[in-house]
Structure 1
């Protein structure tokens, strides 16, 4: 039997995020007899750690909870973590010697775009390098064209939407760099999503009398919940009654809660905070609403499609691929006005929801686990 390919995969942590979930889904479905995988995480924390298959070797730089606020007593811990990680970035040979025990790798993978420096500084110059871009980096201020061009030092650049592929290829210097950019669908475990959605919940916050929109995601400005609340208020004032559930936590939580109170929306909007299993709430809602300013590949939209939910979304990266250019849901312009038009449309035309549900039901969804994992393996084997 041929020797197993030795792979190192790097990611920041395994807390609740789309990229983290995708990575764990991928690992759970890789054949263990074909690859030897080392997973190195900067911070050993997160709900997905327990889902990493036992045959994957798990390494970490630091242990502890993620710090998402700036409370005075947390600042020294934060500072130490940053310096500790920077040391390994400056002296990567220490990392490979002391943490990874001098192991040689055939392939090194950055499972998230933020790890590009770590991978490019690897002392193992002959290993093949792959970067997996899970976000719309062209919408992130810190990613200038000059920084993004560094990604072409990788042998393969995996992107999760046609939009990202086109943007990356525009920056390519030659045909070889263009060919390095590969679009791949994030693997979504359909069975797992359906199973989790069937679990009992006792705290669904509304009666089913009114149409209910749900949205799930970390409460950051990029998610556009501020816009969503303004639109909700406007529609209510126009007599289009409905309810909204927001699931997620994050540093913007208090601001959004304050806005909600200021607009007097306590009866029609509920912020439930983080839920490790949001799917029963999605299943019991009528529509999924995405108000994001930017996304990479909105995994939750793929899962909402698996649960057959009509979707209203801003025009962010990945959404045209997922909603098949509007065939499977409403894509509105990425603005407050756009969100307003999308929500108004689905609330005013009662027959639309049923039409979308039928379309979703009759579509062979391309991001289903087996297809994506097979494609990823092909890329790893060819590199």
Structure 2
């Protein structure tokens, strides 16, 4: 008999958690599961990648509204009120939006959906949350709020640091058993295949290129990267910076590029459905984040044997094997400056990291990761 599963996520835009969820769904069997995917907002580049056998439901349709233009405000207000009502009165949601099923499992695919799953009127379902971020870095997640996650039957976490955070908060052996460390599924063969496609941005000859890929949020530290880039140019270190991604902070980052007068050397490429040719075309990968949960993009960089510089945020030491597989720097703008400068001045050191990556068996093979998550669906 198929398990009936409800999965909730905000949308399927271009974040890491969204991509990981779709990769996971593509590797599940319709013979074993009956899955309803509920989106707060029916939008996103990954919608087309959801397998056809999965039922998609949504609260609102259309793109995310990130501005306060007068013409957008009525729709923005309506969405907030409508979603707030459904969150406060979940029985309305389960009666009128969903097909009135009794689910075996209800799954919050990101931590932001935790309350919605815990407030489900279906009390018999097993409840699972998938945590992709180090919540200790987010002010509103106090210890008391973090402890509320123990109301779930399983807490899936993607890094050892997040795992330890919850183990330290657990007050019983039963709570500790709820916390499960898993790897995000990465489709290595697909990444290698997509990376072979043409790159539409020419590389400047005799100038090293650093690429960074991610949703353009303040969390990603692209502002710090660009200021460090400007300082290096002022010191005579010629190089290029490519930022691949989009997000609500994109206009601010574009404004910063203009203010720093780096339009010729810093390229804001926007969202690309296939970012992997930019990995191949560049010389180095730079992670400038202020905080992360477990930056899956580093595994993608390693899949393509790209030398890495990364700020010392959650997951990085674990992923880069304490610096064996990449250059780990302090979490500051000054350290980003020093890291870029180090690779520019010491390309032979970057080559050593590349050789270490190529010699290493990487731990995120697709079937193993999918199987580890399925284990907790079937348990």
Please say if 1:43 is aligned against 2:41.
yes
Separation in 2 of the partners of 1:108 and 1:197?
Answer: 35
Separation in 2 of the partners of 1:196 and 1:206?
Answer: 19
Matches within 5 A, 1:255-294: 255-294=252-291
Q: Secondary structure of 1:219's match?
A: coil
CA contact (8 A) 2:203 2:281 kept: no
Match of 1:65 in 2: 63
Q: Once the 2 structures are TM-superposed, how far is the Cα of residue 218 of structure 1 from its aligned partner?
A: 1.9
Please say if 1:370 is aligned against 2:367.
yes
| Alignment RMSD (CA, Å) | 1.3
CA contact (8 A) 2:11 2:41 kept: yes
Separation in 1 of the partners of 2:94 and 2:255?
Answer: 47
Q: Secondary structure of 1:40's match?
A: strand
Gaps of 5+ in 1: none
Q: Secondary structure of 1:119's match?
A: helix
Q: Which region of structure 1 is more displaced relative to structure 2, 142-151 or 247-256?
A: 247-256
Separation in 1 of the partners of 2:180 and 2:70?
Answer: 44
Match of 1:84 in 2: 82
Runs of 4 or more consecutive aligned structure 1 residues displaced over 6 Å after TM superposition: none
Match of 1:240 in 2: 237
Separation in 1 of the partners of 2:298 and 2:335?
Answer: 18
CA contact (8 A) 1:205 1:270 kept: no
Match of 1:155 in 2: 153
Matches within 5 A, 1:144-293: 144-201=142-199, 203-293=200-290
Q: Once the 2 structures are TM-superposed, how far is the Cα of residue 337 of structure 1 from its aligned partner?
A: 1.8
Q: Deviations over 1:24-43 (max 9, x none)?
A: 10010012211111111111
Matches within 5 A, 1:344-359: 344-359=341-356
Q: Deviations over 1:133-172 (max 9, x none)?
A: 1112111122222211111100110111101111111111
Separation in 2 of the partners of 1:40 and 1:205?
Answer: 40
Give me the TM-score of the superposition, normalised by structure 2.
0.97
Separation in 2 of the partners of 1:249 and 1:377?
Answer: 31
Q: Which region of structure 1 is more displaced relative to structure 2, 237-246 or 321-330?
A: 237-246
Q: Secondary structure of 1:259's match?
A: helix
CA contact (8 A) 2:134 2:292 kept: yes
CA contact (8 A) 1:19 1:134 kept: yes
Match of 1:343 in 2: 340
Q: Which region of structure 1 is more displaced relative to structure 2, 145-154 or 244-253?
A: 244-253
CA contact (8 A) 1:314 1:334 kept: yes
Q: Give the length in aligned residue pairs.
A: 379
Q: Once the 2 structures are TM-superposed, how far is the Cα of residue 82 of structure 1 from its aligned partner?
A: 1.2
CA contact (8 A) 2:108 2:117 kept: yes
Match of 1:328 in 2: 325
Give me the TM-score of the superposition, normalised by structure 1.
0.96
Separation in 2 of the partners of 1:70 and 1:317?
Answer: 33
Q: Secondary structure of 1:215's match?
A: strand
Q: Per the alignment, do residues 314 and 180 of structure 1 end up closer, same or farther by CA in structure 2, a change over 3 Å counting?
A: same
The match for 2:102 among 104, 128, 134 is 104
Q: Which region of structure 1 is more displaced relative to structure 2, 121-130 or 54-63?
A: 54-63
Separation in 2 of the partners of 1:100 and 1:246?
Answer: 39
Separation in 1 of the partners of 2:294 and 2:88?
Answer: 31
Gaps of 5+ in 2: none
Separation in 1 of the partners of 2:60 and 2:255?
Answer: 35
Match of 2:313 in 1: 316
Q: Secondary structure of 1:72's match?
A: coil
Q: Deviations over 1:198-221 (max 9, x none)?
A: 1113x3143232110001112221
Q: Once the 2 structures are TM-superposed, how far is the Cα of residue 328 of structure 1 from its aligned partner?
A: 0.7
Match of 2:3 in 1: 5
